[in-house]
């Protein structure tokens, strides 16, 4: 269904660009909406996806459908956007759904869970694997229509004041970690802290927390974490392919014409692809700059990875036994992950392993 909408939206965009369909657009009512982001404007990737989306909608509609973009704190707090869209305070929002795992862990499946799907697998599960339909059922309970809109790709494992030599070094560590990862690492002794992006540096600088993860080199460099914590670990196993979502109030969405609905889907897909391209293009140079500035890039010890994986599987088993909504969607997610990893083992992983060992 959504792929058909995408084709229709893309087709309409082409007609508009050619200037041959004024009757379709001009007959529609002019609409002015707002989109609230969970991120600060300083992050031109995470917040910037809203600008790309809004610009695309404006162009496709010939200026009839305008959307103003608002950073975290302008209209509502960073973590207030789900409620804001649900109750109609704002028409749209862009966020990382795992921020709301405290309301229901199922939200994390619309973003990222530890040892979950990578970016390509997540995209495939949503579009071809039934993920979008299952999550639409979940969001219908809170009057929201969700669309995938953005992904950072695999993230780094964060910045630490002290070196992590074994899982024992994590005991009592106060660690800023987004979303669902906190439920996993607290089982191995970490004290998780869920802090909005704009507040992390101050907490790390003051020693309120001992370590923090955000995204990857490009965004982390902007926020300056390397200035107060020199050890930069990888991989960010709790965010292998975190997807951002576009939230649209159900009532507002139902009031749109089919053309405008198609534009939302088309623009969200385009803006999401633009975000991923930005990260893949900008992270390499940023990582080089961070290393040149003294950052020590280290891989998590094997015992940390093993303990974390075991903890994650235990959390998922517990949720399967206690949360029917989670169980239904996770069954689809886990099955897709299993088959996806089998395929990637023979394709991407094998070729990547060889190419990354070459001196090009």
DSSP letter at 168?
A: G
pLDDT digits (tens, 9 = 90+) for 153-170: 999 999 999 999 999 999
pLDDT of 264 higher than 90:
yes
Residue 178 is predicted with a pLDDT of: 76
Task: Specify whether the CB–CB gap between 312 and 113 falls below 8 A.
Answer: yes
Arithmetic mean of pLDDT, 285-309: 97
| Cβ atoms within 10 Å of 150's Cβ, excluding its own | 28
**Domain boundaries of the chain, sorted by first residue:** 2-152+242-280
Question: How sure is the predictor about 28, in pLDDT bands with cuts at 50, 70 and 90?
Answer: low
What proportion of the chain, given as a percentage, has pLDDT over 70? 92
pLDDT reported for residue 12: 39
pLDDT at 6 over 60: no
Mean pLDDT of 281-298: 98
Whether the CB-CB separation of 180 and 101 falls below 8 Å is answered with yes
**Is this structure's pTM higher than 0.85?**
yes
What average pLDDT does range 158-183 have in this prediction? 93
Higher per-residue confidence, 195 vs 84? 84
Given 3.90.45.10, 3.60.110.10, 3.40.190.170, 3.30.1490.20, which CATH number is that of 2-152+242-280? Answer: 3.40.190.170
Closest Cα partner for 65 from 239, 261, 235, 224? 261
In this prediction, what percent of the chain has a pLDDT beyond 90? 88
155 in helix, strand or coil? coil
Here the tokens at position 154 are: 């695999």
Contact 190, 311 (CB under 8 A): no
pLDDT for 197: 81
How many helical (H) and strand (E) elements, i.e. helices and strands, does the chain have? 14, 11
pLDDT reading at 354 higher than 60: yes
- Rounded CA-CA distance 253/263 in Å is 12
Mean pLDDT of 133-149: 98
**Cis peptide bond prior to 235, omega within 30° of 0:** yes
What confidence tier does 194 reach under pLDDT thresholds 50, 70, 90?
confident
- The whole-chain average pLDDT of the chain stands at 92
* Nearest partner of 211 among 254, 177, 260, judged by Cα: 177
């Amino acid at each position: 269904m959504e792929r058909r909408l995408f084709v229709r939206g893309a087709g309409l965009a082409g007609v508009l660009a050619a200037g041959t369909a004024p009757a379709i657009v001009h007959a529609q009512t002019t609409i002015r909406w707002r989109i609230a982001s969970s991120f600060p404007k300083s992050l031109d990737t995470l917040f910037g996806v809203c600008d790309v989306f809004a610009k695309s909608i404006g162009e496709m509609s010939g200026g009839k459908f305008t959307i103003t973009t608002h950073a975290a704190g302008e209209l509502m707090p960073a973590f207030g956007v789900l409620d804001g869209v649900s109750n109609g305070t704002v028409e749209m929002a862009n966020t990382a759904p795992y921020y709301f795992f405290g309301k229901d862990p199922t939200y994390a499946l619309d973003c990222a869970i530890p040892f979950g799907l990578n970016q390509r697998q997540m995209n495939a599960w949503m579009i071809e694997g039934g993920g979008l339909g299952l999550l639409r059922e979940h969001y219908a309970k809170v009057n929201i229509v969700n669309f995938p809109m953005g992904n950072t790709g695999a993230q780094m494992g964060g910045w630490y004041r002290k070196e992590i030599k074994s899982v024992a070094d994590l005991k009592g560590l106060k660690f800023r970690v987004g979303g669902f990862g906190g439920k996993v690492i607290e089982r191995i002794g970490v004290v998780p802290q869920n802090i909005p992006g704009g507040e992390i540096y101050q907490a790390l600088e003051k020693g309120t927390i001992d370590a923090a993860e955000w995204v990857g080199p490009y965004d982390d460099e902007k926020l300056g974490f390397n200035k107060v914590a020199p050890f930069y670990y990888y991989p960010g196993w709790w965010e292998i392919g975190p997807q951002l979502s576009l939230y649209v109030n159900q009532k507002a969405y139902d009031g749109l014409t089919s053309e405008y609905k198609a534009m939302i889907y088309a623009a969200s897909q385009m803006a999401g692809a633009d975000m991923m391209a930005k990260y893949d293009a900008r992270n390499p140079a940023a990582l080089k700059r961070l290393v040149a500035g003294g950052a020590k890039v280290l891989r998590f010890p094997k015992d940390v990875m093993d303990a974390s994986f075991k903890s994650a599987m235990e959390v998922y088993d517990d949720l399967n036994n206690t949360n029917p909504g989670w169980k239904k969607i996770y069954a689809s997610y886990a099955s897709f992950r299993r088959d996806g990893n089998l395929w990637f083992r023979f394709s991407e992983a094998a070729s990547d392993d060889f190419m990354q060992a070459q001196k090009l």
